[in-house]
Amino acid sequence: MSARRIAVVGTGANGASMGADMVRAGLDVTFIEQWPAHVEAMREHGLTVHLPDGSTEITPVSAYHFCQVAELREPFDIVFVSVKSYDTRWVTELIKPLLREDSVVVGLQNGMTIDAVSDVVGAERTVGAVLGIAANMFTPGVVVRQVAPAGTWLTVGTLSGARTPALEHVVEALGHAGSISVSPDIRASKWMKLIANIPEMLPSAILNVPLLTAAGIEGVRPVMDEASREAYRVATALGIAMVPIFGKTEADVPGDDRYGIDLLESVLESYSLPDTRVAVLQDWDKGRRAELDAFNGYIVARARELGVAVPVNEAILAIAERIERGELTPDPANSTLLVDALAATRV
């Protein structure tokens, strides 16, 4: 496996920490990143990863700016795309000239990005992934990993469900970053992660507090639970199979919308520390556009296509859009807006 060339395109908190795990395992990994200061920091000091047990790893890495992709000549066998969902398509186009016919692109992201990848490189070169990891990055070259590799859970799969040789190479590489499994239905697996993300990503970001704090604010947890139930109903209407993720088994999957709440509990219990700030809130902290369309926005869009009512998700999305437009500031006081949104559905 060490002879295979691997690229991690987008080395934010998750991409960088998992990329570092592969580098430390002796794999040939190239980091390609769009934050200039981050690239320069990694070049000068290596990548620093602070782990939950208080230890620190500093890993020398080979890092390139996005603008240097045209300077690269040798193709990659595996490309892990770990950028924001809205950047997936153009970033996949950027790296496409560096693929072999038998190379694969792995969407190492939240959100339903597998179609954006496959539209660019073809279904046969697309691998989807589901992540059970938490990490923060606020300083160039420094990751605070909140779930160690031993607690990280990953699943991957091809669009066809086949276990191809290329998929096995992906499993071997990513296995250095956490426990890994193969899904015969990666679209369903990614939907399960989406259902898990729906109640936590936007609601806690709207409140400008860590996830565990948000879930403990009076009246907020019922809003989260209802958002997950609505997402479950959309998935069911689409014919999506309910499958185990986060290391669960088939026996752990109830036959109703309680599963969405179970998935949220897994996120709170296994992938959250007291200071864990969700990705959407980290984006707002940095003044960046958040992935609204990848989370509650995606549920709202699909629900409208199907004629399924998702009033709580619509309300959450509307509040987040006000923040994006600068009309509202993320604040714990916004809990009133969330609680009122749920109350309005029960009149």
Q: How buried is 234 (Cβ within 10 angstroms: 0-12 exposed, 13-18 middle, 19+ buried)?
A: buried
Dihedrals phi, psi of 230, to nearest 5 degrees: -65, -45
Q: What is the DSSP letter of 138?
A: E
> Which pLDDT value is given to residue 346?
86
User: Token digits for 279?
Assistant: 């990705």
With a cut of 80, say whether residue 2 has pLDDT above it. Answer: no
Taking only the tens place, the pLDDT of each residue in 38-59 is 999 999 999 999 999 999 999 9
Average pLDDT over the chain, rounded to an integer: 96
**Rounded Cα–Cα distance for residues 131 and 152 (Å):** 8
Q: How confident is the model at residue 1 (pLDDT cuts 50, 70, 90)?
A: very low
Spell out the residues 6+ positions from residue 231 whose beta carbon is closer than 8 angstroms to its own. Answer: 194, 195, 198, 199, 260, 299, 310, 313
- Asked if residue 347 has pLDDT above 80, the reply is no
pLDDT of residue 255: 87
From residue 78, how far is each of 30, 60, 100, 172 by CA, in Å? 11, 20, 9, 11
- Say which CATH topology domain 5-184 has: Rossmann fold (3.40.50)
pLDDT tops 70 at residue 282: yes
Q: What one-letter code names the amino acid at 332?
A: P
Superfamily covering domain 190-344: N-(1-d-carboxylethyl)-l-norvaline Dehydrogenase; domain 2 (1.10.1040.10)
> What pLDDT digit, counting tens, does each position of 205-221 carry?
999 999 999 999 999 99
Domain ranges of the chain: 5-184, 190-344
Q: 2: closest CA among 23, 32, 31, 33?
A: 23
Give the pLDDT mean for 219-244. Answer: 97
Token couple for 208: 């400008």
DSSP H or E run through 31: strand 28-33
